[in-house]
Amino acid sequence: MLISSLSSVLERNVGADSVADFKRTFHGLILGSGEALRCAIPDLSIYQVGALLHFLGLSIAGTWPSANPVPAVAEVLAREEFSSMRVDFEATLCAHARVVLRGLLAEPT
């Protein structure tokens, strides 16, 4: 999942124009996701959709590397004593999304 490497790897050592071009394209893709969310959950304001997508992007960036560790870490996490430290990417992201979505829907707009 490249989004997990975006700010820590991919946006390093490139020029500002390249970053700006990428961010324009990426923002366009995100806007499409936002429209789909607004259609699926019409109670969300545009601000709330943006907040949800922003949070999910940050959640993905942090969760993906933890759920897909390097081989040495995966070997350790396979041991029973470390089983509680394993991260299921899909389950974690869904849990984060539910919590944020409930919070957004509960706040007055």
Give me the pLDDT at residue 104, please: 94
Tell me which DSSP letter residue 12 carries: S
Q: What is the pTM for the complete model shown?
A: 0.74
CATH 3.20.20.70 given to domain 2-106: no
pLDDT at 2 over 60: no
Report d(CA 30, CA 37) in Å as an integer: 10
Report d(CA 58, CA 63) in Å as an integer: 9
- Residue 93 exposed, middle or buried by CB count within 10 Å (0-12, 13-18, 19+): middle
Report d(CA 90, CA 27) in Å as an integer: 23
Tell me the domain boundaries of the chain: 2-106
Give tens-digit pLDDT for 56-69.
988 998 899 999 99
pLDDT at 9 over 90: no
Give tens-digit pLDDT for 14-65.
888 888 888 888 888 888 888 899 999 999 999 999 999 999 988 998 899 9
Q: Tokens 């040495």 correspond to what residue? A: 72
